[in-house]
Amino acid sequence: MADRTEIGMTTRRAVLGDAHVDRAEAAKTELDAPFQSLITEAAWGTVWASDKISRRERSMLTLALLAATGNFEEIPMHIRATANTGASKSDVIEAFQHVAIYAGVPKANHALKLAKQTYQEMEAAE
């Protein structure tokens, strides 16, 4: 079995992009290094690295779960990641529609607001 850290870092870079990962790595300290290792190995090296579902589907699931649980801080990062995962704006809207029905309109509304802002920033940077 390949090293989960190496697989995780490769997957993380493919999904989030080198610039994001480089910034996160540069900001890493002794305090959060164990946490960074955990998410690199578990989230990126195991869950995101699995080929059981596509990265597009993982993006949609991740965005829906972040919105449904009120973890809005990471939504812009995962909206930006859709450029690498293949999840379209339409896919994201569909995911947030599910959030509205199953987790609440206010959560979906806030997630959509963040998505709109992030897509505008992405388009302006092109």
Query: How far is it, in rounded angstroms, from Cα 99 to Cα 97?
Result: 5
Q: Given this model, what pLDDT does residue 126 score?
A: 85
Boundaries of domain holding 45 = 1-51
Q: Are residues 57 and 29 part of one domain?
A: no
- Give average pLDDT by consecutive 10-residue segment, the chain, 126 residues: 87 97 96 95 97 98 98 98 98 98 98 98 94
CA dist., res. 79 & res. 96, Å (int): 12
- Please state the domain count of the chain: 2
Check if the beta carbon of residue 79 is closer than 8 Å to that of residue 59.
Answer: no
- Side chain identity at residue 110, one-letter code: H
Q: Are 47 and 67 members of one domain? A: no
Same domain, 73 and 45: no
> What is the predicted pLDDT for the residue at 2?
62
Do both 96 and 76 map to the same domain? yes
pTM, entire model: 0.93
The pLDDT value recorded for residue 1 is 47
